[in-house]
Amino acid sequence: MIDLPARRFRCTVAFVIAGCLSVPPTVVVAQTAHQHPLSSQVPWPTKSGPSANGTVPTTMAGRIWKTWDWKSGQGIDWTTSLEHGGHSTPVVGSGRIWLTSATDDGKRQFITAVDSASGKVVHHRMLFQNNTPEPLGNPVNNYAAPTPYLEPNAVYVHFGTYGTARLDVESGATVWQRRDINVRHFRGPGSSPVVVGNLVILTFDGIDHQFVTALDKHTGRTVWTTPRSTDFGDLDDDGRPLRDGDLRKAFGTPAVFRRGDQTQIVSVGSRAAFGYDAETGEEIWTVRHDDYNASAQPLVYRDMVIINTGSRGAELMAIRIDDSTVGDVTDSHVVWNHDRGNARLSYPVLCDDMVIWITDSGVATAVDATEGFELWKHRIGGNYVASPLVDGDTVYFFNSDGQCIIAKVDHDGLTEQRRNTIGESMTASPAVSGDGLILRAGKTLAKITVH
């Protein structure tokens, strides 16, 4: 047992390391018992929340305290020290907070579960050990960037090429795992899993292979795999990809678009976005674009999906999905395109009928979600990786300089209300539990009080 320090506000937390697990690249299926079933509530199942658009659930609207002090503990229920870092956003359900982490060299990757009420660590163990992980090749990413997906009875954990697993939410035991789905990420993994019905959807956009695959969520077996059909247009005179394929990679997490009896997976890769049939993996439509490094999950708004295409010259575009959205619809179904000043790392969010985002350098922008015209632009300052959080007409912006900027927004502009000090660099996006705001900042996990 190893005890790590915890700051005491309402509790003292011991960080306990359980067993370690090293596995070969094969499917492992285990049986686990449920002696003490947990609550079925999952208030924050993914990075972007239950609505997949960065919005606080209606049951929590207006309840988060807007004033807190990291040093004194004012407005903070508890903080817990974490052994290792990661960009993954905490997911919350059944009274527990789940998050992944990794050593700086990527040789060990972990899963941690924390009791939401007390901050006590319930589970912490190494899931994957990697002898020679590929260097990250950039100062931004790390080896625990993908966010888990949480259901009432399972948490799906993904580290890209290094492994994927389903865990039992009560015991933390591995139900199944896969280590044989591999690409060269070149800049580290980033795509998070999504669950649709009985399928876990995984996205792999490496420099060598680019595809989307679906696993049976109960067994981990592959159900379908669909390669990207993209014409990257990046071959040199010798027929080899430029920059070793760097222009082919992306870090995107797909959105789920339901229309009638059909469910589509909307996935943004390098140079193109796609709609796939969730059940079969069949490619339904594509929209070409000029960028790479796409990471933001698309937003679903009415009969459209709103995508961010990725790199510093990223476009934000809305694509209409109806019966005629079939094949290459680049010239026919793009409803609007905001082609400059878009976010690169932080996800856009929906605030009523506005799309709001923050750039790396701290410029917040809002556009009309229906027609795409710009409503306002406001320089907040700071550096941003984490995505904003929307609570009614209030938006929380969290920067990597250790600040949270809270602002009121409407069609006329942004009015800053308060700046709270976080105390550490925040690159993971915020999450909301049934009784608090969950922040992962550096190697600290904290819960902010609610009314």
| Residues belonging to the chain | 451
Dihedral, CA of residue 19, residue 20, residue 22 and residue 28, to nearest 10: 40
- Phi, psi of 114, deg, nearest 5: -120, 135
Instruction: List 368's β-bridge partners, or say none.
Output: 354
Rounded Cα distance between 406 and 398, Å, is: 9
pLDDT digits (tens, 9 = 90+) for 84-98: 999 999 999 989 999
Whether the per-residue pLDDT at 36 is higher than 50: the answer is no
Dihedrals phi, psi of 58, to nearest 5 degrees:
-60, -30
CA angle 187, 191, 193 (to 5 degrees): 155
Beta pairing, strands 327-328 & 283-288: parallel
State the pLDDT at residue 25.
35
- What does the pLDDT look like over 293-334, one tens digit per residue? 999 999 999 999 999 998 878 999 999 999 999 999 999 999
Q: Does residue 13 form part of some domain?
A: no
Question: If you average pLDDT over residues 142-163, what whole number do you get?
Answer: 97
Query: Hunting for tokens 């390098």 — which residue is that?
Result: 270
Please tell me the distance from the alpha carbon of residue 408 to that of residue 402, in angstroms, as a whole number. Answer: 20
Residue 248 has what DSSP assignment? G
For residue range 356-365, list pLDDT tens digits in order: 999 999 999 9
Structural domain boundaries enclosing 238: 28-448
Instruction: Give long-range contacts, CB 8 A cutoff, 24+ apart: 423-428.
Output: 423/70, 423/71, 425/400, 425/401, 426/385, 426/386, 426/398, 426/399, 426/400, 426/402, 427/87, 427/385, 427/386, 427/400, 428/86, 428/87, 428/88, 428/89, 428/90, 428/99, 428/386
**3-state secondary structure at position 221:** coil
Query: Are 304 and 319 in contact, with CB atoms under 8 Å apart?
Result: yes
pLDDT at 169 over 70: yes
pLDDT tier at 108 (50, 70, 90 boundaries)?
A: very high
Residue 75 counted as domain residue: yes
Residue 227 pLDDT class (50, 70, 90 cuts): very high
Which residue matches tokens 């750039």? 359
* Residue range 215-224, pLDDT digits in tens: 999 999 999 9
Task: Tell me if 34 is assigned to some domain.
Answer: yes
Q: How confident is the model at residue 13 (pLDDT cuts 50, 70, 90)?
A: very low
What string of DSSP letters covers 147-200?
Answer: PPEEETTEEEEE-GGG-EEEEETTT--EEEEE-------SS---PPPEEETTEE
Residue 451's pLDDT is what?
78
19 occurs within a structural domain: no
- Residue 23 resides in a domain: no
Structural contact between residues 47 and 55, judged by C-beta atoms closer than 8 angstroms: no
CATH number of the domain to which 200 belongs: 2.130.10.10
User: Is residue 441 in a domain?
Assistant: yes
Res 22 pLDDT > 60: no
CA–CA distance, 346 with 386 (Å, rounded to integer) = 5
Locate 157 and state its tokens. Answer: 């954990």
Say what percent of the chain tops pLDDT 70. 91
What is the arithmetic mean of pLDDT over 348-374? Answer: 97
Q: What average pLDDT does the segment 384-403 reach?
A: 96
Nearest to 44 by CA among 425, 389, 451: 389
Distance CA 4, CA 150 (A): 26
Lowest mean pLDDT among 60-64, 79-83, 192-196: 60-64
Q: In what order do the strands lie in the sheet with 374-379?
A: 349-351, 354-358, 363-368, 374-379
Q: Is residue 147 pLDDT above 90, yes or no?
A: yes
Tokens coding 198:
């009985």
**Residues 110/167, Cβ–Cβ less than 8 Å:** no
Residue 176 in domain: yes
**How many domains is the chain built from?**
1
DSSP string spanning 6-36? ---SS--------------SS-EE-----SS
pLDDT at 327: 98
